[in-house]
Chains A and B, each alone.
Chain A
Amino acid sequence: GAGVSQSPSNKVTEKGKDVELRCDPISGHTALYWYRQSLGQGLEFLIYFQGNSAPDKSGLPSDRFSAERTGGSVSTLTIQRTQQEDSAVYLCASSLEGPRRSGNTIYFGEGSWLTVV
């Protein structure tokens, strides 16, 4: 499709289980971002990929969170041993170039709603 695609759109998981969230950015976009949106917390930056460079992981909340981007395109965010506080909407976004290059517009996916019970 033409936009950023995320899957699953909704995920309910039991506490302690691992989950994988997938993001397919807009074709040709070199930069990819993951954010977490929680009620009352706004948009929390998690991780940023620029092309094939090592990602900026400074926003990951704990070592249970990891992300990879294969071939400079699709990205997977993995949360291990999920906790109830991980419940949130996980948003993926992409831009043609990264923020280091210029003030490029970033385009968001619809998000993956994660509920940990």
Chain B
Amino acid sequence: AQSVTQLDSQVPVFEEAPVELRCNYSSSVSVYLFWYVQYPNQGLQLLLKYLSGSTLVESINGFEAEFNKSQTSFHLRKPSVHISDTAEYFCAVSSPFGIIFGKGTRLHILP
């Protein structure tokens, strides 16, 4: 069975500071990994995904995530956050058995 663990339910960070949102997964088969974002009062939307190839994937708004197979991690990072990044972020794993989400991490940007 697959599972996804997001270690932090909330992460406060000052504007323009770097941030890392942690995600670990467990799976006995090859997986695809995703980060979805839910902005306040909006639906979930894809931020970035890892399917194969380069282990570092980037989004159009400055986020990046690195697939680390040995550590079974897919942490999300941004070198400098903006107030507009305030949202809940969900890590997800897709395998032949389905798509499983973590419990989410709320990113609070402090002025």
Question: Contact at B101–A105, with CB atoms within 8 Å?
Answer: no
Q: How far is the CB of B94 from chain A (nearest CB, A)?
A: 5
Question: Contact at B51–A103, with CB atoms within 8 Å?
Answer: yes
Q: How many pairs of residues, A versus B, come closer than 8 Å at their CB atoms?
A: 59
Among candidates A35, A40, A91, A105, residue contacting B46 with C-beta atoms closer than 8 Å: A105
Question: Contact at B43–A99, with CB atoms within 8 Å?
Answer: no
Does A90 reach chain B (CB closer than 8 Å)? no
* Chain A residues whose CB sits within 8 angstroms of the CB of B51 once the complex forms: 102-103
* Chain A residues whose CB sits within 8 angstroms of the CB of B110 once the complex forms: none
Does B77 reach chain A (CB closer than 8 Å)? no
Among candidates B36, B45, B90, B96, residue contacting A100 with C-beta atoms closer than 8 Å: B96
Question: Contact at A45–B100, with CB atoms within 8 Å?
Answer: yes
In chain B, positions 1-23 with a C-beta closer than 8 Å to chain A are: 6, 9
* Chain A residues whose CB sits within 8 angstroms of the CB of B9 once the complex forms: 40
Size band of the interface chain A makes with B: 20 to 34
Q: How far is the CB of A3 from chain B (nearest CB, A)?
A: 8
Question: Contact at B44–A48, with CB atoms within 8 Å?
Answer: no
Does B56 reach chain A (CB closer than 8 Å)? no
- CB-CB under 8 A for A35 and B101, given A42-B90, A102-B32, A102-B51: yes
Question: Contact at B98–A91, with CB atoms within 8 Å?
Answer: no
Nearest to A93 among chain B residues (CB) is: B44
Query: Which residues of chain B have a CB within 8 Å of any CB of chain A?
Result: 6, 9, 32, 34, 36, 42-46, 49-51, 90, 92, 94-104
